Amino acid sequence: MARCDVCFRHCEIPEGKLGFCGARTCLNGKVIQANYGRITSLALDPIEKKPLRRFYPGSLILSAGSYGCNLRCPFCQNYEISWSEEAFKYAEIADGMSAADRVHRIEILSPEDLAHTAAYYRERGNIGVAFTYNEPLIGYEFILDTAKLVRNMGMKTVLVTNGTASLSVLAELAPYVDAMNIDLKGFTDRYYREVLKGDRKMVMDFISQAVKDCHVELTTLIIPGENDSEAEMEELSRWIAGLKNRDGEVIGRDVPLHISRFFPRYKMQDRNATDVRLIYRLAGVAGQHLNYVYTGNC
């Protein structure tokens, strides 16, 4: 058994078993990444789809996803590879249970494979690799190995993450990551703890450090009845506005915030899509404190 220190859970993982995220395991008394190089999704996307609006706008980026997640958002858009029963089938397949299924569901790529694929598409406007779709930081070792190669090729590495990771993980990745979109899913401990099964303080600490290391944009998905009050958006945007750079200068007003509309999905189909008027109203609240506020899914 060994303890994983990637996130606040500090899973004690028995030999050969998986942690809460489904992507980290214990081998010979050491925690390792179980989904290393296991790619379930690969696409050439507009950078704005990450979403990143102020980082090489108009460009494309090769987007890669694996499986597993350390949160349990009931509205997950990518639940098939994140934390549903299907996602844990990926973990079982990757562990060698079915070679036939592995061929159809998981492509195994080395860091060199992924970096060279990114370079292949450079002439089509690709600027690098984005790790996205599932939670990338639970597999930070593969990201690190790939990002070093991508950097040597003169290309960019992007993370689309829930920010639920320790600062030690961020410190390893920071020299090789150029941009992140980080979910700040709400601004109450109740929402993070009860709905997402997460830890708001860890995310806030992660964001506070990340803005010192690279370009950062934030996303808040507005769930009706959960995180949709003007008071919460006021508090959230005020906090962002106070973020500082490495020199202690307040730069938060220039950190972009994407406020996105919810649609019924996965285990949260018991409520309507977020009212478009509410999204614009909340964007107006945030815009009193932030210079760059974008609405999504409207």
Q: How many domains is the chain partitioned into structurally?
A: 1
Cβ pair 31, 169 in contact under 8 A: no
Sheet strand arrangement including 126-131:
41-46, 60-65, 126-131, 156-161, 179-183, 215-222, 257-261, 293-296
Instruction: List the alpha helices (DSSP H) in the chain.
Output: 79-82, 85-94, 99-105, 111-120, 140-152, 167-173, 189-190, 200-213, 230-241, 276-287
Give SS3 for 187.
coil
Read off the tokens for 28: 């010979």
Give SS3 for 266.
coil
Query: How is the chain split among helix, strand and coil, in percent rounded to 5?
Result: 40, 25, 40
pLDDT by residue for the chain (298 residues), tens only, comes to: 999 999 999 999 999 999 999 999 999 999 999 999 999 999 999 999 999 999 999 999 999 999 999 999 999 999 888 886 766 666 665 554 443 443 346 789 999 999 999 999 999 999 999 999 999 999 999 999 999 999 999 999 999 999 999 999 999 999 999 999 999 999 999 999 999 999 999 999 999 999 999 999 999 999 999 999 999 999 999 999 999 999 999 999 999 999 999 999 999 999 999 999 999 999 999 999 999 999 999 9
CATH code assigned at 257: 3.20.20.70
Residues of the domain holding 264: 2-296
